[in-house]
Amino acid sequence: QVQLVASGGGLVQPGGSLRLSCAASGFNLGASAIAWFRQAPGKGRERISCITDSGGTTAYADSVKGRFTISKDNAKNTVYLQMNSLKPEDTAVYFCSTSLTSYCLGSDRYRYWGQGTQVTVSS
């Protein structure tokens, strides 16, 4: 079955960096777009980035543009989210998701979800 396992979260100081990983199994990552979402306490889930099947097209929310970079290694069945210049407002649980389409979808159309990894940005 489709499985997504997010990892790499932790506690980091403002201005620091983290790299999240999303390990995919049970489907062809090379034929699937993957999105990263986050959910802060008391807030709704926000799609922050997406990458298409080949990795040739990426998209970012304005809140992370220029600071976060999404990438994928289809040979390793893994998608990454490099997060730089982290801010306290980046504190959230981060999830990876797919609907097994080759292209990115609207935020409410994702079907499969990983368990999430906590990112806390604090001094």
| Number of helical H runs and strand E runs in the chain | 0, 11
Each residue's pLDDT tens digit, 27-83: 999 999 999 999 999 999 999 999 999 989 999 999 999 999 999 999 999 999 999
Q: pLDDT category, 109, cuts 50, 70, 90?
A: confident
pLDDT at residue 90 in the model: 98
18-50 burial, b at 16+ Cβ within 10 Å, e below that, comes to: bebbbbbeebebeebbbbbbbeeeeeebebbbb
Q: pLDDT category, 106, cuts 50, 70, 90?
A: confident
Each residue's pLDDT tens digit, 59-68: 999 999 999 9
* Placement of tokens 């999303």 in the chain: 22
Each residue's pLDDT tens digit, 5-35: 999 999 999 999 999 999 999 999 999 999 9
